């Protein structure tokens, strides 16, 4: 069994981005610049934003964080997005989700200029991905694909199962795998007999948000498992720990390759955000 080291693959990609940024700057261009919009005080969002800002800094990408109060009116948030859309000093715009209830996330995302939509959530970018056209690809599934390619040089013809159909992970993941000519099945909360679907798959991407729901005994021997899930559970010792959507210890007995949680998909998401920001600047 091979452990897919997301930390190492992400570090490599981050170094590549940093190298390309340095080259741009040496050629006389300003560094790529990302605007991060954070609404409210959600502790998880604060951590994510801090990590993204720090990763930008390490890659030589400029970032600017706009903090808005939790009770900000949607109109004010839309005004800020509009301002950033036309700001020539800003290449990428990221609005950290979730947003408070008075701000409609779909409306806010649609307000971002598709050319600055480094999260790849705008309908234009989602549509381009669905059509197999170039555009900004959401960072988590883009990272998953990179990890898969460290195991499989060629994905064509492989049976891939994506568990979950969210707009930020499952759907774009399925679209990417279709473009790679895999044979793709998407499972979701209404799917019947998930174990049978899993048992057919050469590749399983689990993005459900339920701790260890995919059991090792369901897997086809030798399958490649990408575990997107991040679930906080309390261990037998009473301490909190993070687990994925796949029962790791069981799955590691059967899989050919598997990502750990943490240290698998998580680090790739930020690395792909840096890459998207570099591309937005280019």
**Residues labelled catalytic:** 52, 96, 119
Which residue, among 187, 157, 194, has the nearest Cα to 171 in the 3D structure? 187
Among 170, 172, 216, 260, binds ligand NAD (CB under 6 A): 170
Going along the chain, which residue ranges are E strands? Answer: 2-3, 33-39, 62-68, 92-95, 159-163, 183-187, 203-206, 224-227, 231-234, 240-243, 257-258
Site membership for ligand NAD, residue 53 (CB under 6 A): no
Residue with tokens 């981050």: 14
> Looking only at residues 150 through 169 of this chain, which bind ligand NAD when binding is defined by CB under 6 A?
163-166, 168-169
Q: Mark 199-228 with x for binding to ligand NAD (rule: CB under 6 A) and - for no binding.
A: --------xxx------------------x
> Looking only at residues 245 through 274 of this chain, which bind ligand NAD when binding is defined by CB under 6 A?
265-266, 269
Angle between helices 265-281 and 6-26 (to 10 degrees): 20
Euclidean distance between CA atoms 74 and 225, whole angstroms: 40
Number of residues that bind ligand NAD (CB under 6 A): 23
Q: Tabulate helix, strand, coil % of the chain (nearest 5).
A: 45, 20, 35
Residue 142 CB contacts under 8 Å (≥ 6 apart), including other chains:
120, 176, 268, 272, 275, 276
Among 71-79, 90-98, 128-136, 188-196, which window interacts with ligand NAD (CB under 6 A)? Answer: 188-196
Among 11-19, 37-45, 60-68, 186-194, which window interacts with ligand NAD (CB under 6 A)? Answer: 186-194
Nearer to ligand NAD, 166 or 185 (CB): 166
Among 80-88, 181-189, 217-225, 250-258, which window interacts with ligand NAD (CB under 6 A)? Answer: 181-189
Least distance between ligand NAD and beta carbon 49 (Å): 14
**250 burial via Cβ count (<10 Å: 0-12, 13-18, 19+):** middle
Least distance between ligand NAD and beta carbon 193 (Å): 10
Binding site for ligand NAD (CB under 6 A): 140, 163-166, 168-170, 187-189, 191, 194, 207-209, 228-231, 265-266, 269
């Amino acid at each position: 069994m091979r452990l897919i080291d997301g930390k190492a693959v992400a570090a490599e990609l981050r170094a590549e981005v940093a190298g390309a940024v340095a080259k741009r700057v040496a050629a006389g261009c300003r560094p790529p610049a990302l605007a991060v919009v954070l609404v409210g005080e959600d502790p998880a969002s604060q951590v994510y934003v801090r990590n993204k800002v720090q990763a930008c800094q390490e890659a030589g990408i400029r970032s600017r964080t706009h903090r808005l109060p939790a009770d900000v009116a949607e109109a004010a948030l839309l005004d800020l997005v509009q301002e950033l859309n036309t700001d020539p000093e800003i290449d990428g715009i990221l609005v950290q989700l979730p947003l408070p209830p008075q701000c409609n996330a779909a409306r806010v995302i649609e307000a971002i200029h598709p050319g600055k939509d480094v999260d790849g959530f705008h309908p234009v970018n989602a549509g381009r991905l669905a059509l197999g056209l170039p555009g900004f690809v959401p960072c988590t599934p883009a990272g998953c694909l990179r990890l898969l390619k460290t195991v499989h040089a060629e994905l064509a013809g492989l049976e891939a199962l994506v568990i979950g159909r969210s707009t930020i992970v499952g759907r774009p993941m399925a679209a990417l795998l279709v473009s790679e000519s895999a044979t793709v099945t998407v499972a979701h909360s209404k799917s019947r007999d998930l174990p049978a679907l899993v048992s057919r798959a050469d590749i399983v991407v689990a993005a459900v948000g339920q701790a260890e729901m995919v059991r090792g005994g369901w897997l086809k021997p030798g399958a490649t498992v990408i575990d997107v899930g991040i679930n906080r559970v309390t261990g037998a010792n009473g301490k909190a720990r993070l687990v994925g959507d796949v029962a790791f210890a069981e799955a590691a007995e059967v899989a050919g390759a598997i990502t750990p949680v943490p240290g698998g998909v998580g680090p790739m998401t930020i690395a792909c955000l840096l890459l998207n920001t570099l591309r937005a600047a280019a």
